[in-house]
Amino acid sequence: MDITAEIGSRIRHHRRERKLSQEKLAEKSGLHPSYIGQLERGEKKPTIDSLYKITKGMDLSVSDFLKDLEIVDGDPENFAVKSYLLIEQEQASDQRRLYEIIKRIIEFKGK
C-alpha cells in the first residue's frame, strides 16, 4: 500500500472510530469536507499543516496517528503486520468475519 493510501485509510479509520462524519471532521479541523474525502480516498497528499489540523480535530496526536507507519511501508514481506493493520481498521463485526475467513483458508490449506 502506498503512503498516500495508508494515510487516507488511517484518517477514515480514526474518523469512523470517533463517529465523526467527513463534514464534522472538516468543521473541527477547519478544512473543506471534499478535501477530507479526497484524502481518505488517497487522491490527495496531506500537508503537514492539514495532517496536524485533522489529528487535532480528532483529539489524536500526530505521533499516535503515524505510529507503526514504518512497519507498513518498510518491509515489503511483512504481510502479517500489514494484514493486522488492515483488519484493525475495520469495525469489530467485520474483524470477526475477516478472522473467520482467514482461519478457514488456513485450515483448508492444511488439508
Whether the predicted pLDDT of 97 surpasses 60: yes
Instruction: Quote the crossing angle between the two packed helices 48-57 and 3-17, to the nearest 10°.
Output: 20
What the block records as the C-alpha cell of 37 is 474525502
15-40: pLDDT as tens digits: 999 999 999 999 999 999 999 999 99
7 near 51, Cβ under 8 Å? yes
With a CB cutoff of 8 Å and minimum separation 6, the contacts of 40 are 8, 9, 11, 12, 15, 22
Domains of the chain and CATH, by start: 1-67 (1.10.260.40), 68-111 (no CATH)
**The model's pTM:** 0.64
Is the Cβ–Cβ distance between 57 and 29 less than 8 Å? Answer: yes
